[in-house]
């Protein structure tokens, strides 16, 4: 396509028409100029290609497809390769089905366990979310199919999702809510970005110039097109100016006409329209000029892949007395509706019409050592005595029991948030009663987000399966019977109770205003800082083998922030079976002028080790590993000091630690000095101290001697240290009242103004 030529030949009306969808899933064609319509489909964990009866809520059917594990599960793999392989599978399916863009990945940060869409999102940690999103994007786009990373930005609740205003301070946005998008955009270059429904600091994301143009394009170098979430457009003309290229779905022509009108009356520049047209045509061209229509989509092969990858995502959270893995000869009671009808995906736009679903019962077909019981009803929350008794009886007859439990569809979905973190009552009672009947009871959970576990001490084993996709049954069997050694790690903290969560006091907001009061202290950044007990910490997960760490070495003891730091550590499998370990690298910052988390994840690698094998895992840390977002510089800033490089099994289990001295290459920006500047801040400013240092010293001495003059009692009451401590909070202007030097207020003002002048 000669895009510039096409633009020059297009009428204003044709240009405007390209800036919104033809219908639910297509861009518009301009036949006169040979511009084809292209189709997109929901993801993120499979295809939801709809035909005539289209909707964005997952209500109407779509073609039969493969449902891979959801974002919550794949994040638990801590494995870029898992995401890449899913991406490649989806990419092939898209080429086969002629889909130019798949709508995902969804990378919003899990601010609260209650968010209805947490099942689709990756993590409470932006580094993990960004790295995994980049891998998925690379996988899909390696097949010459676009992705749409979503929902940009600060979209962390479903409550009032189309009207709420996420009020987030600048540092928190930069450190927590934007970096997953940033990493993915910089590393993997998604073809498109989907802006969110909500407002960000008072402005709809779909009209937010700062977000869509200054940050996304100018800073991060995004070169694709931005599309709206379905129905996220309020003022289309403002949107074009802000950098929203494509409105989805169709506006029925109304907004096309508004765009034309705005250009004609001078409120919108034609260049802005051209810019969006250019971005959209670029991506259309990228897709159609490299079409691979012959790509095969082998559903059965992808089902097997989904099974293999789901097993890599399961997290073994408890395994007392090595209750797992089950032995082939052991008699096992398999209990719970979800063992027959697994909950393997979430509700809403990501809902996939799976061509096949494999439950645990299906996977166990022919296994003579298992007996089954339903245990609970999925629809009715109340305990059913008959079902429970049957399950208890089965459990009592067996060596061990496994209960497949979790959250039913109605508990968590796109479109609304949970109101509590509890499991259905029928399941809680079932677990407690079965565990009494059989001390070797294991629970497997299928859920999209953490639940409270009042029963945790009654059971010996626990596997968190999240929403594992259509082959979840095969994966569950593989993990329970030890065909696969579990290697998932929690991508989020599991609090003991909902009230422990840092956003508890302000989540969902008041009316349309959602204040992100907890700032950067999201997830483990909060629990670790508060030294708070959690049910399971971020990064935690067990294995059927054991790993030890040794020989942590840093490439330098001292660096400046323009240099990188090499970090290596050896990991050894000290058990008797092969397994995969997730090596987690955290950085702890020194005390500086802003509040910082105790530690933050700055690297992770998954390694496979045979029994007795040792491997060296290497990381490279750059400036961002040490920096915080400085709101005076509006940039990343490294404070001088000793940083601890920590290797951990989770955010709560740091096994090796060493420190490196890091020097920032720019000085910390100082507040301007004026008569209200307090002495403590003045002391940080060398230029100010050259002028005021002697005066301050004199004041200090006088202050101390005044105490002494007032007798022994006074000098005992106020020691030198005490007067120094008190004085540090006194503003500069007090020197006028306390008589240190002959100076008027105006002279003082003039002096401070001089200090602020650049040298
Ligand atoms: C969702 C998006 C989805 C779109 C299209 C919206 O309601 O928020 O994630 O891609 O619908 O179905």
For residues 552 and 596, membership in a common domain is answered with: yes
For residues 63 and 190, membership in a common domain is answered with: yes
Asked whether 691 and 736 are in contact (CB, 8 A), the reply is no
Please give the distance, rounded to the nearest whole angstrom, from the Cα atom of residue 205 to the centre of ligand 1: 15
Structural domain includes residue 137: yes
350 phi and psi, to 5 degrees? -90, 0
Asked whether 552 and 656 are in contact (CB, 8 A), the reply is yes
Please give the distance, rounded to the nearest whole angstrom, from the Cα atom of residue 71 to the centre of ligand 1: 15
380 Cβ contact partners less than 8 Å away, ≥ 6 residues apart: 426
Q: Whose CA is nearest to atom 11 of ligand 1?
A: 56
Which of helix, strand or coil describes residue 199?
strand
- Give per-residue pLDDT as tens, 493-545: 999 999 999 999 999 999 999 999 999 999 999 999 999 999 999 999 999 99
For residues 593 and 618, membership in a common domain is answered with: yes
Strand bridging mode 614-621 / 565-573: antiparallel
Structural domain includes residue 299: no
- Give per-residue pLDDT as tens, 56-114: 777 778 999 999 999 999 999 999 999 999 999 999 999 999 999 999 999 999 999 99
For residues 358 and 451, membership in a common domain is answered with: yes
Q: Residue 427 has which token pair?
A: 């399941």
Please give the distance, rounded to the nearest whole angstrom, from the Cα atom of residue 349 to the centre of ligand 1: 5
Count of structural domains, the chain: 4
229, 417, 500, 561: which one is catalytic?
A: 229
Under DSSP, the state recorded for 596 is -
Domain hosting residue 78, numbered range: 3-288
For residues 258 and 150, membership in a common domain is answered with: yes
Structural domain includes residue 52: yes
For residues 89 and 37, membership in a common domain is answered with: yes
For residues 164 and 205, membership in a common domain is answered with: yes
Please give the distance, rounded to the nearest whole angstrom, from the Cα atom of residue 230 to the centre of ligand 1: 6
Ligand 1 atom nearest residue 120's Cα:
9
Cα–Cα distance measured from residue 665 to residue 32, given in angstroms and rounded to the nearest whole number: 57
Lowest mean pLDDT among 451-455, 631-635, 730-734: 730-734
Q: Whose CA is nearest to atom 3 of ligand 1?
A: 349
Structural domain includes residue 442: yes
Structural domain includes residue 542: no
Cα–Cα distance measured from residue 191 to residue 99, given in angstroms and rounded to the nearest whole number: 13
Q: In terms of DSSP H, where are the helices of 108-218? A: 126-141, 170-172, 179-188, 209
Q: Hey, which of 23, 42, 71 would you mutate to test ligand 1's pocket, going by the most ligand atoms within 8 Å of its Cβ? A: 42
Structural domain includes residue 658: yes
Of 288, 320, 352, which residue sits at a domain end?
Answer: 288
For residues 692 and 566, membership in a common domain is answered with: no
The predicted structure's pLDDT at residue 725? 86
For residues 518 and 594, membership in a common domain is answered with: no
Cα–Cα distance measured from residue 542 to residue 462, given in angstroms and rounded to the nearest whole number: 10
For residues 702 and 646, membership in a common domain is answered with: no
Report the CATH number that the domain containing residue 103 is assigned in CATH.
3.20.20.300
CA dihedral 488, 489, 491, 495 (to 10 degrees): 130
Residue 500 designated active-site: no
Of 530, 556, 590, which residue sits at a domain end?
Answer: 530
Half-sphere exposure of 644 (CA within 13 A, CB side): 14
- Give per-residue pLDDT as tens, 590-646: 999 999 999 999 999 999 999 999 999 999 999 999 999 999 999 999 999 999 999
Q: Hey, which of 45, 71, 103, 195 would you mutate to test ligand 1's pocket, going by the most ligand atoms within 8 Å of its Cβ? A: 103
For residues 559 and 655, membership in a common domain is answered with: yes
Rounded to two decimals, the pTM is 0.96
Structural domain includes residue 293: no
Tokens 């422990």 identify what position? 500
For residues 587 and 627, membership in a common domain is answered with: yes
Q: Residue 40 has which token pair?
A: 């997109």
Write out residues with Cβ below 6 Å of ligand 1.
Answer: 42, 56, 103, 150, 229-230, 349
Work out the average pLDDT over 454-462. Answer: 98
Report the CATH number that the domain containing residue 356 is assigned in CATH.
3.40.50.1700
Q: Hey, which of 229, 347, 353, 415 would you mutate to test ligand 1's pocket, going by the most ligand atoms within 8 Å of its Cβ? A: 229
Report the CATH number that the domain containing residue 651 is assigned in CATH.
2.60.40.10
Structural domain includes residue 297: no
């Amino acid at each position: 396509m000669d895009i510039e030529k096409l633009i020059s030949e297009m009428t204003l009306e044709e240009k405007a028409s390209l800036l919104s969808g033809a219908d639910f899933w297509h861009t518009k064609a301009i036949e006169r100029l040979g511009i084809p319509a292209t189709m997109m489909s929901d993801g993120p964990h499979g295809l939801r290609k709809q035909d005539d009866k289209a909707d964005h809520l997952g209500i109407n059917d779509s073609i039969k497809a493969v449902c891979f594990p959801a974002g919550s599960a794949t994040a638990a793999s801590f494995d870029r390769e898992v995401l890449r392989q899913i991406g490649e599978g989806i990419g092939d399916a898209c080429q086969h089905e002629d889909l130019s863009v798949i709508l995902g990945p969804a990378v919003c940060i899990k601010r609260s366990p209650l968010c209805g869409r947490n099942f689709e999102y990756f993590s409470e940690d932006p580094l993990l979310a960004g790295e995994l999103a980049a891998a998925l994007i690379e996988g899909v786009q390696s097949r010459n199919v676009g992705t749409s990373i979503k929902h940009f930005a600060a979209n962390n609740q479903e409550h009032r999702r189309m009207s709420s205003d996420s009020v987030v301070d600048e540092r928190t946005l930069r450190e927590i809510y934007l970096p997953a998008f940033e990493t993915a955009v910089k590393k993997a270059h998604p073809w498109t970005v989907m802006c969110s429904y909500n407002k960000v600091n008072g402005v709809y994301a779909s009209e937010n110039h700062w977000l869509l143009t200054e940050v996304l394009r100018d800073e991060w170098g995004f070169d694709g097109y931005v599309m709206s979430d379905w129905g996220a457009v309020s003022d289309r003309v403002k949107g074009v100016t802000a950098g929203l290229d494509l409105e989805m779905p169709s506006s029925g022509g109304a907004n096309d006409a508004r765009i034309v009108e705005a250009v004609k009356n001078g409120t919108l520049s034609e260049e802005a329209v051209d810019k969006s047209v250019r971005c959209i045509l670029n991506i259309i061209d990228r897709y159609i000029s490299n079409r691979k229509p012959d790509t095969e989509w082998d559903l059965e092969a992808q089902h097997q892949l989904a099974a293999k990858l789901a097993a890599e995502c399961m997290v073994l959270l408890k395994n007392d007395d090595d209750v797992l893995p089950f032995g082939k000869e052991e008699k096992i009671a398999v209990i719970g509706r979800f063992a027959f009808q697994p909950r393997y995906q979430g509700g809403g736009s990501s809902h996939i019409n799976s061509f096949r679903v494999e439950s645990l019962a299906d996977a166990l077909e022919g296994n003579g050592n298992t007996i089954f019981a339903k245990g609970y009803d999925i629809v009715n929350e109340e305990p059913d005595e008959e079902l429970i008794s049957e399950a208890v009886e089965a459990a009592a007859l067996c060596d061990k029991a496994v209960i497949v439990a979790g959250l039913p569809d109605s508990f968590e979905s796109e479109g609304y948030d949970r109101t509590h973190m509890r499991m259905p009552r029928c399941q809680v009672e079932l677990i407690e009663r079965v565990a009494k009947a059989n001390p070797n009871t294991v629970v497997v959970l299928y859920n999209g987000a953490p639940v409270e576990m009042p029963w945790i001490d009654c059971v010996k084993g626990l596997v968190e399966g999240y929403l594992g996709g259509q082959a979840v049954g095969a994966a569950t069997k593989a993990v329970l019977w030890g065909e696969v050694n579990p290697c998932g790690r929690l991508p989020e903290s599991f609090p003991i109770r909902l009230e422990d969560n840092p956003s508890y006091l302000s989540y969902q907001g008041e009316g349309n205003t959602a204040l992100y009061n907890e700032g950067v202290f999201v997830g483990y950044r909060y629990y670790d800082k508060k030294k708070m007990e959690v049910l399971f910490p971020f990064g935690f997960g067990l294995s059927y083998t054991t790993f030890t760490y040794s020989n942590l070495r840093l490439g330098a003891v001292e660096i400046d922030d323009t240099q990188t730091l090499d970090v290596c550590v050896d990991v050894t499998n000290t058990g008797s079976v092969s397994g995969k370990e997730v090596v987690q690298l955290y950085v702890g910052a020194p005390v500086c002028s802003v509040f910082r988390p105790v530690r933050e994840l700055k690297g992770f690698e998954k390694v496979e080790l045979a029994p007795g094998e040792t491997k060296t895992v290497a990381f490279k840390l750059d400036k961002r590993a040490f920096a915080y977002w400085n709101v005076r510089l509006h940039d990343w800033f490294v404070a001088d000091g000793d940083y601890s490089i920590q290797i951990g099994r989770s955010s709560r289990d740091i096994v090796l630690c060493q420190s490196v001295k890091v020097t920032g290459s720019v000085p910390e920006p100082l507040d301007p000095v004026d008569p209200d500047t307090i002495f403590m801040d003045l002391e940080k400013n060398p230029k100010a101290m050259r002028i005021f240092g002697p005066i301050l010293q004199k004041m200090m001495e006088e202050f101390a001697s005044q105490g002494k003059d007032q007798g022994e009692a006074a000098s005992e009451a106020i020691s030198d240290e005490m007067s120094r401590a008190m004085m540090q909070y006194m503003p500069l202007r007090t020197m006028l009242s306390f008589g240190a030097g002959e100076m008027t207020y105006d002279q003082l003002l003039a002096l401070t103004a001089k200090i602020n002048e650049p040298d």
